[in-house]
Amino acid sequence: MNTVKTVRELRAAVAAARAEGKHISLVPTMGNLHAGHAALVEKAAQRSDFVVASIFVNPLQFGANEDLDKYPRTLVDDQQKLVKAGCNLLFTPSVEEMYPNGMNGQTRVSVLGVSEGLCGASRPGHFDGVATVVSKLFNIVQPDLAIFGQKDYQQLAVIRTLVNDLNMPIQIIGEPTVRSADGLALSSRNGYLTDEQRSAASVLYKSLQEIAAGLKAGEHDRAQLIARAQSQHAAAGFSPDYLEIRDASSLRPATEQDRQLVILVAAFIGNTRLIDNLLVDLDKPA
């Protein structure tokens, strides 16, 4: 695996691969990689001939009081994991390389609709930062396909809308969330948890499963399902951000007529904000 730091080096390496007729894939990350990231790279290696991964902790998507400065940087360990997963080229740009004219004057990309509410409400400007950096990476690499995890479900919806609205010739693939044995979604932020918090955190996914079971059983009082789950979260030490049932495609609030749903949650335990989601197909037998 070759590691490059500049746009020029990256474009040269991708151009050489494409000249050989290779199918190009991209897996954007912020580093501090875990098994969930490795699964994305492995899928990319199955679906393409040349896998490009990026590691860039993007300041545009962090708010003023978020964890940009303490976000873990683990490049050597990340490189080893990427090699094992089948990555061919790693792009590790500096902030100056990605935003040479500074961030204040940087052209921003906004994706309306699916970026609103949920994490979009809790983290103002976050999805503009995501859409902007992903647009830049797509333009730099020009991949045939790009792979993202479904744990960040709203982010995936934003990127799919971005690609569709701007007619980008890129196939977007969403890969299922990779989980620990107790169901907790793998996340770089899990490393912030104490042992006690880590043990309690499994309640998030368990509560999503219980809501899904209630929906499939025909429960019409969805507010009660939500309230019961939030009580479980509070008992485990979580402070709520949001817990909602949405239409899986549009991300608008779900109605009784919608059959493809997604349950989305964000909550704080200590100072750590965790997110998760669960897809529910009401037309599929329980």
Residues ≥6 apart with Cβ < 8 Å to 189:
67, 272, 273, 274
Query: Range(s) for CATH 3.40.50.620 in the chain?
Result: 2-175
SS3 of residue 286 by DSSP:
coil
Which class does domain 2-175 fall in? Answer: alpha beta
Q: What is the mean pLDDT of residues 246-268?
A: 97
SS3 content of the chain, % helix, strand, coil (to 5): 40, 20, 40
pLDDT per residue as tens digits for the range 28-49 = 999 999 999 999 999 999 999 9
CA dist., res. 232 & res. 39, Å (int): 31
Question: Is 254:246 a contact under the CB 8 Å cutoff?
Answer: yes
Domain 188-280 falls in which CATH fold? Pantoate--beta-alanine Ligase; Chain: A,domain 2 (3.30.1300)
Q: Kind of pairing, strands 50-55 and 89-91?
A: parallel
Q: What is the mean pLDDT of residues 141-155?
A: 98
Considering only CA atoms, which of 178, 172, 3 is closest in space to residue 83? 3
Q: First and final CA of the chain: distance in angstroms?
A: 44
What does pTM read for this prediction? 0.95
- The pLDDT confidence band at residue 66, using thresholds 50, 70 and 90, is confident
C-beta atoms surrounding 70 within 10 Å: 8
Q: What is the mean pLDDT of residues 245-251?
A: 97
Q: What is the mean pLDDT of residues 263-267?
A: 98
Query: Range(s) for CATH 3.30.1300.10 in the chain?
Result: 188-280
Question: Is 261:253 a contact under the CB 8 Å cutoff?
Answer: no
pLDDT per residue as tens digits for the range 151-202 = 999 999 999 999 999 999 999 999 999 999 999 999 999 999 999 999 999 9
DSSP 137: H
Residue that has been written with the tokens 């991708």 in this structure: 14
Q: What is the pLDDT of residue 285?
A: 80
Residues designated catalytic? 37
DSSP 116: S
Q: What is the mean pLDDT of residues 128-154?
A: 98
